[in-house]
Structure 1
Amino acid sequence: MTPHAPHADRAGSTLRQLITLAVPALGVLAAEPLYLLVDTAVVGHLGAVPLAGLSVGAIVLAQIATQMTFLSFGTTARAARLHGAGRRADAVAMGVQATWLGAITGLALVVAGQLLAGPIARLLAGDDQVAEAAVGWLRIALFGAPMILITMAGNGWMRGVQDMRRPLRYVLTGNAISAVLCPVLVHGLGWGLDGSAVANVVAQLISASLFVRALVSEGVPLTPVPAAMRAQLGMARDLVLLGLAFQACWVSATAVAAHISTAAVGAHQVVFQLWMFLAFVLDALAIAAQALVGAALGARDGERARRLAWQVAGCGLLFGTVLGVVFAALAGTLPHVFTADAAVLAEMPRAWWFFVALQPVGGVVFALDGVLLGAGDAAYMRTATLCAAALGFLPVVWASLSLGWGLVGIWSGLSLFLLIRMTTQLARLRSGRWAVLGAIR
């Protein structure tokens, strides 16, 4: 045996663990955006106005998940450290309190959303017909908010204890039923865009019910503990600000596209949903890294955590490159799956080639998000992402509206945003200051 063989064995074992966790995580992460792609394709055949309405409504609903990421990512980070320290019951208890937080917050969002759906849709949409379509979809879809947040909490604690298979079954069950239901309601029963919203709520209700059942089966106390919920909110501030930075970018992009033309916002919706789908695909490595890095730090194994970090960055680069090649080859055919509108198809190439070229960069960025979140380094991520949004994305996107750059300007802003984020993440990784040991950071 060569002197380097033990290190090679450790590296191979780590990589196998990473892939073993990443594969079912990929199914969970891909299920929702894949369903949204099906939803987009179904609605796209209603015409440009319903497609634009779905774009505006969906980006508003996405704020809920993005602003509440601490329910999934924050819960995973804390549960993974406890699991690594051999405290599984305490790790599951994190899931109980996160579920209560999700249910309470979700009900509040339903009430607030019904009141604010109209003003928000009119603010984002550049056309009265698009705004009306978005409001109708959003008022129905908002009833799924509590279930979305309960599902996020369930994913969080299960990832922390490295149980990736049950979440995959739960999410796929809900989304598969709704994927069949969506075209039936939209086209078969003639409910149009409203049918899409109803199908969304059905998916979320089924998945949330399965996660609650799993939590009950663990046998831990299920009563809400206000002090424990307040402790969980420690990471919430940083992750909410992180989410606000993302959503300021995504909402600005949709709003600018909507003010360019109905065709532009329709094209942006298709390419952006593909982008989000692939982002979630690449996030599978991030979820696996988050669970493994958190467990390694909880077990006080800093060397393993650092080794994992560089391995996941390399895997992200490789997978992102492969995806870029695949979607470059599909440029002439895939857009036609989502719409037959000639004006939307004519706009799409202005965003498509940015989307293709950014895949390797996104692969590294999304993978390292998981490493830093697993380490509980949300404060650094918050600051770096806010800087990337303020200095990169937002100035370019809003300049594109006044200067007439169209979708090219929007996607140039996204490119700059990702490049700044990648640079700051790699600098943090090299510093080693993220690898803090212990069951609780």
Structure 2
Amino acid sequence: MVDDLQGRFPQPVEEKKLSEVGRTPAVRRPAIGRIDREIFALAVPALGALVAEPLFVLVDSVVVGRLGTAQLGGLSLASNLLVTVVGLCVFLAYATTAAVSRLVGAGREREALQSGVDGMWLALGVGVVLGVLVWAAAPWAVSAMGGTGELAEHAVTYIRYSAIGLPGMEVVLAATGVLRGLRDTRTPLVVASTGAVVNAVVNITLVWGVGMGIAGSGLGTALTQLAMGATLAAVVVRGARRRGASLRPAAGSVWANARAGLPLLVRTLSLRLAILLTVAVATRLGDVTLAGYQVVGSLWGLAAFALDALAIAAQALVGQGLGAGDLPRVRAVLRRCLRWGVAAGAAIGVVLAAAGWWIAPLFTSDDGVRAAATAGLVVVGLLMPMAGWVFVLDGVLIGAGDGRYLAAVGMLTLVVYVPAALAVGAWAPAGAAGLAWLWAAFAGVFMAARALTTGLRARGTRWMVTGT
């Protein structure tokens, strides 16, 4: 049973840190080719699952867009609020992956599945509470975001119907974390892909066939999310039964999962606040800059999905390596994931920087927005290798259960970024130059601060605590 999952895992008496084993006889060096195969066996399906999720919003946009401008505007406002709520709960996946992978590495699969079951109970509770709060706060939240009139009515309708699916969405996060910890990224891929197809069919049926309008889109997505949560939970439950784990929630373990997730919640909050600040600055710089930011931000998000797939592989492999006490393997995984992360970032960056002038017209016909987006993509492209480094190190430290450190430096890097962002808002010109400076602040200053803090941590040994 996991006694304490807060931030870093406790070190039992018989376990040793790296400094205590560094002088042991020569250890067999892990095979690089095998490690690469393991990384990509996890990363490729994880990438598919990550890309499948945004299809929900895309399908909703296509279906609702045909209802009218007010409905589409309401969907845009509502979906941004909902994505923020769900995004803050990603700790349910990350904390569960770290706990399960570490226990599996230690050869304690029954306890790993027990921890996973407790994590899903926590997710269900969080989802129910959030569903109620989101439903009740929908009018206030829409008003706070500037929604008025018919647009606001549609946004509130979509949020309230979508809130029904929040328990399912949170269970999806936790169950996906369990399966990643078990090094199974294929099952989440199948469920996410199937869910995207089902969501399209159900939404079209409810919106157009039944005539529910935007309410049908929200309800269709909610029902799909509930079904996905139930499907993934059933997979975990079957595994738990096979290994003799209890399906009843253990209060102590559920609370331990909550404490483990709290630092990761703070870390995610720091990222969300940085993004919101960036959007606010882009808004201040004018419509052209804001529209250009939307183009670059969409492509940045797509690139982040690809790099996050490597981070997910790093989470699982590092957690299992530390659980097994295999420190040479952990270092080897770290090195290989970093090399692949930087290489993938460089490759993506070349494409974005070189093809920006041809990519931007796919989003807009406005010459000013096109020029701004192209300038922003050049800056992003040049800095994308550093983003690959950051995303991988983030995954490594999450897999090691180093949540407290990530929470602390997350807020520190936010403090570093705020003056840079405000300076851009105060002194940068509107248009292409302003957007270039804004992305230089975000992808440069903010990401450099993250690269420095995570890189210094990874060079040391304090995060490499072995055992469960």
TM-score of the pair, normalised by structure 1? 0.86
Match of 1:421 in 2: 450
Q: Residues 379-399 of structure 1, C-alpha deviation per residue, up to 9 Å, x if partnerless?
A: 11111111111111x334445
Equivalent runs, 1:12-411 vs 2, <5 Å: 12-37=33-58, 39=60, 53-125=74-146, 134-179=155-200, 196-218=217-239, 219=241, 220-257=245-282, 265=290, 267-338=292-363, 348-349=373-374, 351-392=376-417, 394-401=418-425, 403=427, 405=429, 408=435, 410-411=438-439
Q: Report the Cα offset of residue 158 of structure 1.
A: 0.6
SS in 2 for 1:358: helix
**C-alpha spacing 1:32/1:395, structure 2 compared with 1 (3 Å):** farther
Q: Is residue 396–residue 412 contact of structure 1 (8 Å, CA) maintained in 2?
A: no
Q: Distance in 1 between matches of 2:320 and 2:73?
A: 43
Offset from partner CA, 1:75-132 (integer Å, 9 cap, x none): 1101001101111121111221111111111111111112222222333348777655
What are the superposed Cα offsets for residues 175-233 of structure 1, whole Å, 9 maximum, x if unpaired?
12224555777789887755553453244223212112212322132212211101112
Cα distance change, pair 369–278 in 1 and its aligned pair in 2 (3 A): same
In 1, Cα distance between equivalents of 2:49 and 2:454: 25
> For the residues of structure 2 that align with 1:304 and 1:359, how far apart are their CA atoms?
27
Q: State which drifts further: 54-63 or 257-266.
A: 257-266
Aligned amino acid, residue 278 of structure 1: A
On the 8 A contact 2:274/2:414 being kept in 1, the answer is: yes
Rg comparison, structure with higher value: 2
* Higher mean C-alpha displacement, 395-404 vs 97-106: 395-404
Residue 15 of structure 1: how far off its partner (Å): 1.5
User: Hey, what's the Cα distance between the residues in 2 that align with 1:405 and 1:72?
Assistant: 41
Distance verdict in 2 for CA 1:384–1:227, change over 3 Å: same
Distance 2:68 2:297 in 1: 18
In structure 1, distance between residues paired with 2:367 and 2:139: 30
Q: Residues 44 and 338 of structure 1 are in contact (CA less than 8 Å); yes or no, is this contact kept in structure 2?
A: no
| Contact kept in structure 2, 1:44 and 1:339, CA below 8 Å | no
Distance 1:136 1:58, change over 3 A: same
Unaligned residue ranges in structure 2 (runs of 5+): 1-27
Partner of 1:3: none
2:441 and 2:74 map into 1 onto residues whose CA distance is: 23
Q: Structure 1 residues 36 and 270 mapped into 2: Cα distance closer, same or farther (>3 Å)? A: farther
Q: Is the 8 A contact 1:83 1:161 kept in 2?
A: yes
Q: Is the 8 A contact 1:124 1:255 kept in 2?
A: no
Secondary structure in 2 aligned to 1:235? helix
Deviations for 1:399-431, whole angstroms, at most 9, x for unmatched residues?
545556556254333222111101111111112
User: What TM-score does the superposition give when structure 2 sets the normalisation length?
Assistant: 0.82
Distance 2:300 2:292 in 1: 12
Equivalent AA in structure 2 for residue 292 of structure 1: L
Q: CA RMSD in A?
A: 3.2
- The residue type paired with residue 90 of structure 2 is T
**Contact 2:117 2:247 (8 Å CA) reproduced:** yes
Q: Structure 2 CA distance, aligned partners of 1:180 and 1:204?
A: 14
Shift of the 383–49 alpha-carbon distance from structure 1 to 2, 3 Å rule, reads farther
CA contact (8 A) 2:354 2:378 kept: no
Q: 2:213, 2:284 → 1: CA distance?
A: 24
Render the CA deviation track for 1:126-169: whole Å, top value 9, x for unaligned.
Answer: 87776555434333332221111000011111111111111111
**In 2, Cα distance between the equivalents of 1:53 and 1:198?**
15
Report the residue type matching 1:395 in the other structure.
P
For the residue of structure 2 that corresponds to 1:172, the secondary structure is: helix
Q: Identify the residue that residue 460 of structure 2 maps to in structure 1.
A: 431
Alignment of 1:2-13 (within 5 A): 7=29, 10-13=31-34
- Other-structure match for 2:5: none
Who is 1:412 aligned against? 440
**Is the alpha carbon distance of 1:214 and 1:117 closer, same or farther for their aligned partners in structure 2, counting shifts above 3 Å?**
same
Task: Give the aligned length.
Answer: 433
Matches of 1:33 and 1:14 in 2, distance apart? 30
Provide the C-alpha distance between the structure 1 equivalents of 2:248 and 2:141, rounded to a whole number of angstroms: 36
Change in CA separation of 1:94 and 1:242 when aligned onto 2, cut-off 3 Å: same
Query: Which SS does the other structure have where 1:331 is aligned?
Result: helix
Q: Which amino acid aligns with 2:449?
A: I
Secondary structure of the equivalent of 1:376? coil
